[in-house]
Structure 1
Amino acid sequence: MSVTLNHTGITVGDLDRSIALFSDLFEFELVSRAPRDPDLISRVIGVPGARVEIAYMRNASGGTVELLAYSGPDERQAFAPRACDLGSLHLGFNVDIDAALAKASKHGLEPMGEVIVIDAGPNQGARIAYLRNPEGLVLELIQAP
């Protein structure tokens, strides 16, 4: 069996703001945006009363993100672990780091630490920075050496 990555799904609070972030900062294009059947979503995720609108976005390299904005059930929780906490995830993007950092604040992204140069491994010599948006999403910016 051949296995390939289909998409990365991210639960967001503000779908419009998240679409703008991925469009402006990472050059993703909106492929589709629509609500889903609440009964079907509730059954697939195992949460009664789930209501969601989903936007699919794709960039030129073929990367696809699925942005999910739930409006139900009412008792949803925020999840913003530190990068070292179990269950923490991040997305890494190859960018011009200075240009991306210049745009980051208009999207509510805040640095989690410093911009550093990697000293070993497959990204040796690259500059990287970790950023977090107000909803807790962690993004890694990577600029090749």
Structure 2
Amino acid sequence: MNQPLISFRRIDHASWTVAELEPVIAFYNRVFGVTAVYAMGPLDAADMGRDEQGRDWTDTHLGIPGARIRLAMLQFPDGFKLELFEYQKPLGSSTAPLPGNHIGSHHLGIEVDDLEQAAGVLLDNGCTVLERIELDSGPTAGSSFRYFRDPWSNIFELCRHTPSSL
């Protein structure tokens, strides 16, 4: 194994932007059992200082000048953290997450004990669940997967691994 150039410890969190924090937090709490670690904002660039080059805080640190944001850090029962951003200004040009074939799109994989039970819960809670993927050969042989979109079109993947697979 190559020696990394960065002294890597662990993944701290993943993040994505949503239109409104509260309904997403409530849904993720109800369906996935997340807890809110903290929430911040609104934080408005107009109320923050400027750096030596005259850029406002959100331009300097987020690359988005003149932003007004709210954010929340959520924690899943296993300790994984997901940070949600809500940009109140400037509004982005898209109203839904990118489909999976776009550079920069994302999905979050969640390992579950019972793929079909989890899919049923998701369907009952307004998610779009795609067909099951069964793999009988290759590096993930014995695993099953189902992609789904939450009510805001964020992409997830249910994962079920047998003891002999991943």
- State the TM-score, normalizing by the size of structure 2: 0.74
Instruction: Choose which of 62, 70, 75 in structure 1 pairs with 2:87.
Output: 70
**Within 5 Å, which residues of 2 pair with 1:1-145?**
1-39=7-45, 40-95=57-112, 96-111=114-129, 113-145=130-162
Distance 1:61 1:134, change over 3 A: closer
Name the aligned partner's letter for residue 123 of structure 2.
S
Partner of residue 4, structure 2: none
Contact 1:78 1:135 in 2 (8 A): no
Unaligned runs of at least 5 residues, structure 2 = 1-6, 46-56
Q: Deviations over 1:2-34 (max 9, x none)?
A: 332111011011212211232223222111112
- How much has 1:122 moved relative to structure 2? 4.6
**Greater relative contact order (Cα < 8 A, sep 6+):** 1
**Alpha-carbon RMSD:** 2.2
Gaps of 5+ in 1: none
Taking structure 1 as reference, are residues 135 and 2 closer, same or farther at Cα in structure 2, changes over 3 Å only? same
1:141 maps to a residue whose letter is: L
- CA distance, structure 1, for counterparts of residue 133 and residue 92 of structure 2: 39
Tell me, in whole angstroms, the C-alpha distance in 2 between the residues paired with 1:99 and 1:23: 18
Q: Deviations over 1:29-59 (max 9, x none)?
A: 1111121532233431221221111111112
Asked if the contact 2:44–2:68 (Cα under 8 Å) also holds between the matched residues in 1, the reply is yes
TM-score normalized with structure 1 length: 0.83
Identity of aligned residues (%): 27
Shift of residue 75 of structure 1? Answer: 4.9
Residue 50 of structure 2 is matched in structure 1 by none
The CA distance in 2 between the partners of 1:71 and 1:108, in whole Å, is 25
Question: Could you tell me which amino acid in structure 2 is paired with residue 3 of structure 1?
Answer: R
What is the aligned residue count?
Answer: 144
Distance 1:56 1:120 in 2: 38
SS at match of 2:78: coil
2:70 partner letter: E
